[in-house]
Amino acid sequence: MHRAILFLCLFASCSFPIIAAEENTPFEFLVMGCMPYYMPQDEARFQNVIAAANQARPAFSVHCGDTKSGQKPCDDAVYPKILGWFNQFESPFVYVPGDNEWTDCHTAAAGAFDPVDRLGVVRRTFFSADHQSLGKSRLTLTSQTKVQPEYATYIEHNRWSRGGILFATLHVVGSNNNARENNDAAMAEFLARDQAVLAWMQSAFEEAARPECRALVLFMQANPLSETQRSEPRGTGFANVVPALRKAVQALPKPVYLFHSDSHYFRIDKPLTSATGRTLENFTRIETFGGMNLHLIQVKVDPANPDPLVAMPLIIPANKVDASLPPPSRK
């Protein structure tokens, strides 16, 4: 029976593999973002994160971007250093770029680098042509460069599956998603990437609509949603992606989860609404810890459950902070 199922899966048209033995087996994964942040004091604290993750033995971990403060230089030495830390994770490790790695590098505090040049460094450092994850154990990823070759530049757009759950990364970043209207180069980069994001997100929702897929999980760095108006984009850089997300979620009768970092504020909520103001109950947003709070989100997955994901904080005792102390310096 298992051989027959495997045979059918090998010849199925879906672009993500389904392993019969894992279809209903519960598993766990970890999510983090905006860490390490305050350097160099966070170097030891991030080692605590690595140790906690390795002890938890997840199926994989995902970093939702921002590997340093935006006030720290984007020099060539910082990227391989972070890569070395990522590869200390025993389980497969998937990384999503953040704005502090490239978008904000034009500021004087960050070294006045060309953001597009720094984005090239990010891609060359953290993503490989063989489309493997980071970490000591590797996970084979499905890349947008293969599925949609017209977007061959966007090697950071990846997806994978386990237990009928489809996971996909979207390169959507803070600082208004690099939509700086007074800078022609920034706008050209944003407009091209925005189209790639929309195409990759649509493709993910199309895959998630297949009968064998039970839920869709998205990862990005930016918090794209307004804090004051439900379901509204935070700025012009999210003016296309948020309505597209809302429309796709409403059309998919399955659970959709969005993990992001950016605001340094751990939360789990349901902020998307329909055009009539009704909560889209099949959508859940989970924001990571980050900044001063270097902790993890532990996600337990039961593929047989109609709502298969349960997210909870994984507090690292060694990283607890004295709440009476002032915030650390970004410099």
For residue 171, pLDDT beyond 50: yes
Phi, psi of 300 (to 5 degrees): -95, 130
Residue 51 pLDDT grade (very low, low, confident, very high; cuts 50, 70, 90):
very high
Identify whether the C-beta of residue 283 lies closer than 8 Å to the C-beta of residue 272: yes
Q: What is the mean pLDDT of residues 259-270?
A: 96
* pLDDT given for residue 17 in this prediction: 43
Q: Per the CATH hierarchy, to which homologous superfamily does domain 15-319 belong?
A: Metallo-dependent phosphatases (3.60.21.10)
Q: How far out from the chain centre does Cα 209 lie?
A: 21
Phi, psi of 313 (to 5 degrees): -70, 140
Identify whether the C-beta of residue 171 lies closer than 8 Å to the C-beta of residue 100: no
Lowest mean pLDDT among 158-167, 203-212, 224-233: 224-233
Domain ranges of the chain: 15-319
Q: What is the signed CA dihedral for 271, 272, 275, 278, rounded to 10 degrees?
A: -70
Buried b (16+ CB within 10 A) or exposed e, 230-241: ebbbbeebbbbb
Residue 16 pLDDT grade (very low, low, confident, very high; cuts 50, 70, 90):
very low
Give the pTM.
0.92
Which spans in the chain are helix H?
2-10, 42-56, 78-86, 115-126, 144-147, 174-177, 184-208, 241-251
* pLDDT given for residue 184 in this prediction: 96
User: At a CB cut-off of 8 Å and minimum separation 6, what does 211 contact?
Assistant: none
| Cβ count near 77 (within 10 Å) | 7
Cis bond upstream, residue 328 (ω within 30): no
70-121 per-position pLDDT tens digit: 999 999 999 999 999 999 999 999 999 999 999 999 999 999 999 999 999 9
| More confident: 117 or 5 | 117
CA distance 46 to 208: 34
Q: What is the mean pLDDT of residues 212-225?
A: 97
CA distance 49 to 65: 15
Percentage of the residues of the chain whose pLDDT score is greater than 70: 92
* pLDDT given for residue 116 in this prediction: 97
| More confident: 153 or 327 | 153
Phi, psi of 202 (to 5 degrees): -60, -40
Residue 177 pLDDT grade (very low, low, confident, very high; cuts 50, 70, 90):
very high
Q: What is the mean pLDDT of residues 263-291?
A: 95
Six-digit token string for 225: 């949603």
CA distance 26 to 231: 32
CA distance 101 to 78: 9
Q: What is the mean pLDDT of residues 6-31?
A: 59
* pLDDT given for residue 330 in this prediction: 56
* pLDDT given for residue 226 in this prediction: 87
Q: What is the mean pLDDT of residues 11-15?
A: 39
Identify whether the C-beta of residue 87 lies closer than 8 Å to the C-beta of residue 135: yes
CA nearest 302: which of 214, 206, 212, 210? 214
* pLDDT given for residue 3 in this prediction: 42
* pLDDT given for residue 232 in this prediction: 87
Six-digit token string for 230: 């439900």
Query: Running DSSP on this structure, what letter comes out for residue 225?
Result: B
Q: What is the mean pLDDT of residues 208-226?
A: 97
For residue 257, pLDDT beyond 70: yes
* pLDDT given for residue 323 in this prediction: 87
The mean predicted confidence, pLDDT, of the chain is 92
Query: Running DSSP on this structure, what letter comes out for residue 132?
Result: B
Identify whether the C-beta of residue 199 lies closer than 8 Å to the C-beta of residue 147: no
CA distance 167 to 138: 16
